[in-house]
Amino acid sequence: MKKAIATLNILLVLVAVPMAIAQIKPSESQQVEKFKQVFPLVQQKKIVAFKDLDWCKTFEYQKGQFTNNNIQKCTYDFDQKQKFRGFDPQAQKDFDQITRSLSAPKVQTLEVKFNRGTIASARLHVFAGDVNPICKVIWSCDVKTYIYQPGYKKLPAGLGGEWHEKMNQDWYIEWQDWN
C-alpha cells in the first residue's frame, strides 16, 4: 500500500509540475504583445541599448551612455568610441523605468535601431530561467532572443547551435543552445 501511494505521489508530481510551469509561462505571442507595449517608452526616450545583469548595468539613450561597472567589462558589446559614465539621478530613474517595463520575464539586453525616429528593429534577449522556471534548477536551457524586424522576408540561416522560429510577419525568435 505504501509503495502504491509513493508511486501515485511521484506520478502526481510528474504531471503537476509541468502543468504548473505551463500556467506560469506566457505564450510566445503574449510575450510579443508585452514587448510591443514597451516600444512607445523606448521610442520616446530613444533607447538604443540596455543591459541589466547582476554585475553590469548599461544604458544608452537620448541623454547619454551610462554604466555601473568597468567600461571594458560591462560595455564590450557596445561602441567603444562612446563615452560611458556612471549613472546620474535622471539616468538611474529612466533605467529603473525601462527595467520595470522589461520584467517578467526579465529582458537582459535590448538593442534598438531607429530609422527616421521610429523603431526599425529590436533584439530582446531573455533570461531562460524567467521564461521556464525549471531552468533555474537544472541550468540547461536554451537562450532566447526575440527579434523585431518589420516585414522580414525569410528567417536568417542559423549558425552552429543557433536556430530561428517564425512568430509573425514582424517577429521571430532566435534560439541558442548553450549546452
- Residue 4: inside a domain: no
- Residue 34: inside a domain: yes
Confidence of residue 40 (pLDDT cuts 50, 70, 90): very high
User: What average pLDDT does this structure show over 94-118?
Assistant: 91
By residue range, what is the domain housing residue 120? 27-176
- Residue 108: inside a domain: yes
Flag the least confident range among 109-113, 138-142, 143-147.
138-142
Confidence of residue 155 (pLDDT cuts 50, 70, 90): confident
- Residue 10: inside a domain: no
* DSSP letters for 26-91: PPHHHHHHHHHHHHHHHHHHT--EEEE-SS-EEEEETTEEEESS-HHHHSTTS-TTS-EEPPPHHH
- Residue 15: inside a domain: no
User: What average pLDDT does this structure show over 64-80?
Assistant: 69
User: What average pLDDT does this structure show over 54-66?
Assistant: 89
Per the structure, the count of domains in the chain is 1
pLDDT over threshold 90, residue 111: yes
pLDDT over threshold 50, residue 23: no
Confidence of residue 17 (pLDDT cuts 50, 70, 90): very low
